[in-house]
């Protein structure tokens, strides 16, 4: 069996920045354990598998560790591959996913993801393991459906945060993670994102976490349109809109490579 594979850098206009994802088109789903093994072999944060129908695509996301219910950067990568490599000539791409129908509008070279809003609520304290794992404690603490949102006073504090992985990996968040965030110096807000027990501790650019970050910053800053930067080692830019129960997340992508997977053994 031979499969096509596309390596895409998402939420960036520059190679070697943003978040890399692999995209693999299929005629039908492979066994789950095989797709997980392929994701492990790829070694990037997410691998997107797509199955085309006449006017839509089924989409699933796998990290090297598990299948996810939602992923922003791999959705953007899939849309970029469908448009620029597979030649799907349409202004909108519809994905059928575990999180419902996700539409991606194409505006020039920018892809705009239409994702569910996942607002957070303020809480009083963190689990001890999370508190002990943070080199700098947050100013405010919030919990969303999937992720913790930890708010800090400045962008410099976000850059300086160090995670004690031995403590951090004691936390069980399922598919969730921890977003640390603050007002941006040259944008509306910045963030970083960490996932306990994951092969890749820090995700470079995390579209799905903005389903919770955008409602918080939209309310705090009293604005619906926001520009966000994820300031990891491979930074990326997200152009966000709070549309009530939906969050629009815009970004760019570039193709790094196309190739083949050979599974003849």
Parallel, antiparallel, or unpaired: how do β-strands 19-26 and 2-10 relate?
antiparallel
Looking at the fold, whether 130 and 233 belong to one and the same domain comes out as: yes
Average pLDDT, the chain: 97
pTM of the model: 0.95
- Are 68 and 21 within 8 A, CB to CB? no
- Are 43 and 22 within 8 A, CB to CB? no
Once rounded to an integer, what is the mean pLDDT over residues 64-82?
Answer: 97
Once rounded to an integer, what is the mean pLDDT over residues 90-102?
Answer: 95
Q: Judging by beta carbons within 10 Å of its beta carbon (0-12, 13-18, 19+), is residue 96 exposed, middle or buried?
A: middle
Looking at the fold, whether 229 and 130 belong to one and the same domain comes out as: yes
Looking at the fold, whether 125 and 110 belong to one and the same domain comes out as: no
Looking at the fold, whether 9 and 97 belong to one and the same domain comes out as: yes
Task: Identify which of 9, 5, 6 has the alpha carbon closest to the alpha carbon of residue 251.
Answer: 9
- pLDDT value of residue 175: 85
Given CA atoms 110, 116, 117, 118 in this order, what sign does their dihedral have? negative
Q: How many helices (H) and strands (E) does the chain have?
A: 6, 18
Looking at the fold, whether 94 and 157 belong to one and the same domain comes out as: no
Looking at the fold, whether 145 and 231 belong to one and the same domain comes out as: yes
Looking at the fold, whether 74 and 135 belong to one and the same domain comes out as: no
Looking at the fold, whether 149 and 103 belong to one and the same domain comes out as: no
Given a cut of 70, whether residue 265 has pLDDT beyond it is no
- pLDDT value of residue 190: 98
pLDDT per residue over 162-199, tens digit each?
A: 999 999 999 988 889 999 999 999 999 999 999 999 99
pLDDT per residue over 222-235, tens digit each?
A: 999 999 999 999 99
- pLDDT value of residue 206: 97
Task: Identify which of 260, 193, 264, 178 has the alpha carbon closest to the alpha carbon of residue 7.
Answer: 260
Pairwise CA distance, residues 216 & 113, whole Å = 19
Task: Identify which of 199, 228, 263 has the alpha carbon closest to the alpha carbon of residue 11.
Answer: 228
Given a cut of 90, whether residue 200 has pLDDT beyond it is yes
Looking at the fold, whether 256 and 238 belong to one and the same domain comes out as: no
pLDDT per residue over 2-18, tens digit each?
A: 999 999 999 999 999 99
Measure the N-to-C terminal CA separation of the chain; round to a whole number of Å.
9
In which domain, by residue range, is 92 found?
A: 2-116+250-262
Pairwise CA distance, residues 80 & 142, whole Å = 33
Parallel, antiparallel, or unpaired: how do β-strands 46-52 and 246-251 relate?
unpaired
Q: Which of 27, 41, 46, 185 is catalytic?
A: 46
CATH number where 179 lies = 3.10.310.10
Domain count, the chain: 2
Please list, residue by residue across 172-193, b when 16 or more beta carbons sit within 10 angstroms of its beta carbon and e when fewer do. ebebbbbbbbbbbeebbbbbbb
Given CA atoms 81, 84, 85, 91 in this order, what sign does their dihedral have? positive
Looking at the fold, whether 70 and 169 belong to one and the same domain comes out as: no
Pairwise CA distance, residues 151 & 138, whole Å = 6
46: annotated active-site residue: yes
Looking at the fold, whether 193 and 93 belong to one and the same domain comes out as: no
Looking at the fold, whether 196 and 255 belong to one and the same domain comes out as: no
pLDDT per residue over 14-34, tens digit each?
A: 999 999 999 999 999 999 999
Q: Angle 76-227-90 (CA atoms, 0-180°, nearest 5)?
A: 35
Given a cut of 80, whether residue 256 has pLDDT beyond it is yes
Task: Identify which of 103, 106, 60 has the alpha carbon closest to the alpha carbon of residue 83.
Answer: 106
């Amino acid at each position: 069996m031979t499969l096509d594979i596309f390596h895409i850098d998402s939420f960036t206009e520059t190679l070697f920045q943003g978040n890399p994802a692999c995209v693999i088109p299929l005629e039908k789903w492979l066994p789950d354990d095989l797709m997980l093994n392929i994701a492990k072999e790829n070694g990037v944060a997410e691998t997107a598998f797509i199955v085309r129908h006449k006017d839509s695509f089924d989409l699933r996301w796998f990290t090297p560790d598990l299948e996810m219910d939602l992923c922003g950067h791999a959705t953007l990568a899939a849309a970029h591959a469908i448009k620029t490599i597979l030649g799907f000539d349409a202004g909108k791409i519809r994905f059928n996913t575990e999180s419902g129908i996700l539409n991606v509008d194409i505006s020039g070279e920018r892809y705009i993801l239409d994702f569910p809003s996942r607002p957070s609520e303020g809480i009083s304290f963190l689990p001890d393991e999370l508190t002990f794992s943070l080199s700098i404690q947050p100013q405010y603490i919030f919990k969303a459906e999937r992720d913790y949102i930890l708010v800090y006073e400045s962008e410099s504090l976000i850059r300086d945060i160090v995670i004690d992985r031995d403590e951090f990996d004691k936390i069980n968040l399922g598919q969730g993670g921890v977003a640390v965030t603050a007002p941006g110096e040259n944008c509306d807000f910045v963030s970083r994102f960490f996932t306990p027990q994951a092969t890749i501790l820090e995700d470079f650019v995390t579209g799905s976490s903005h389903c919770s970050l955008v409602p918080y910053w939209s309310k705090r800053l009293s604005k619906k349109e926001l520009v966000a930067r994820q300031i990891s080692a491979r930074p990326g830019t997200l152009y966000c809109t709070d549309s009530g129960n939906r969050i629009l997340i815009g970004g760019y992508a570039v193709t790094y490579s196309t190739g083949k997977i050979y599974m003849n053994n």
